Structure 1
Amino acid sequence: MKKSTLLNSDISYLVATLGHTDEITVCDAGLPIPSHVQRIDLALTHGVPSFIDTVRVILSESQIEAVLVAEEFERTSPEVYGELLDLLVQEQLTTGKVIEVGHVTHEEFKARTNNSKAVVRTGECTPYANVIFQTGVVF
C-alpha cells in the first residue's frame, strides 16, 4: 500500500505519467467535461470531496508551474478562490518554484479543458471552483 497522501490509483497513475507543460483540470460537480478527455470522477455527494481537499492532495504529488482559473471565480466565490491562492503560495514556499496564475473567461476556461490529459471531478458545489494545472519539472 502507498505511504504517500494520494491513494486514488487513477490520479496516482495520471500524475506519474504527466510531462512538462501537460495540463490537468480539477473541477466542481457542474463543469462540463469533454467526451474525449479522461474523466476521473470522485464526486460522492454535494461537497464531497471538496475542491480544496482534492487540490491539496494533487499538489502534494505533482510539480505545478502554472494555473488557469476563470475570472468569475474570484468575484463569485472569493473564499474558495482565496483558499486556492493560499495553497499555491504554500506550494511555492515548499518547492521554491514560482507558480504563475492566469485568468480567462469561464467560456474560455471550458474550451481550454479540451487540452487536459484528464479532468478530476469533485463534489464541490461552489460556482467556478475549477482550476487547470500546468505541470512543471522537479529539477
Structure 2
Amino acid sequence: MKKHGILNRDLAGIFAKLGHTDQITISDCGLPIPDGVTCIDLSYILGKPSFDEILAIVLDDLVVEKAYVAAEMKTANAKMHYVVNKSIEQISEVSHEEFKAMTRQSKVIIRTGEASPYANIILQAGVIF
C-alpha cells in the first residue's frame, strides 16, 4: 500500500502515465465533461471536496509547468483566482468557451464538489529534470 501522495488508485495510475505537456483538468461540480474523457468524480456533497483542497494535493504530487484558467475567474471568483495565482507561476487565461474546448485534450478530469463559478483549471505536466 502507498504511504504518501495520491492514494486514489485511478488518479495515481493516470499521474504515473503522464508525459511532458500532457494535461489534466480539475473542475467544479458544474463543468461539462466531454464525451470520451475520463472523469474521476471525487464529489460527495455540494462543496466537498473543494477545488482549492484538490488543487493543493495534486500540485504536491505532480510537476506542473503551466496552467490554464478561464479569464472570467478573475472577476467572477476572485478567491479562487488568488489561490491559483499563489500556487502556480505560469498561468494563461482563455475564454470559458475556449477552456471547455481545451478539456477535450485532458487525460483526466477530476471533478470536485466545488460550487463556486469558474473554479476550473487545466494543468500541463512538466518534467522533474
Which one-letter code corresponds to 1:108 in the other structure?
E
Q: Matched residue of 2:72: which SS?
A: helix
Deviation at residue 5 of structure 1 after TM alignment: 3.2
| Paired residue total | 129
Match of 2:112 among 122, 125, 131: 122
CA deviation string 1:3-43 (max 9, x = no partner): 21321111111111100000000000000000110011101
Specify the alignment match of 1:16 in structure 2: 16
Q: Which has the higher helix share?
A: 1
1:82, 1:42 → 2: CA distance? 23
Divergent runs of 4+, >4 A? none
* 2:43 counterpart of 1:53: no
In structure 2, list runs of 5 or more residues that go unmatched: none
Which one-letter code corresponds to 1:76 in the other structure?
A
Q: Matched residue of 1:83: which SS?
A: helix
Per the normalisation by structure 1, the TM-score is 0.90
Alignment of 1:36-115 (within 5 A): 36-88=36-88, 99-115=89-105
1:38, 1:131 → 2: CA distance? 16
User: RMSD over aligned Cα, in angstroms?
Assistant: 0.9
In structure 1, list runs of 5 or more residues that go unmatched: 89-98
Q: Matched residue of 1:114: which SS?
A: helix
Which one-letter code corresponds to 2:82 in the other structure?
G
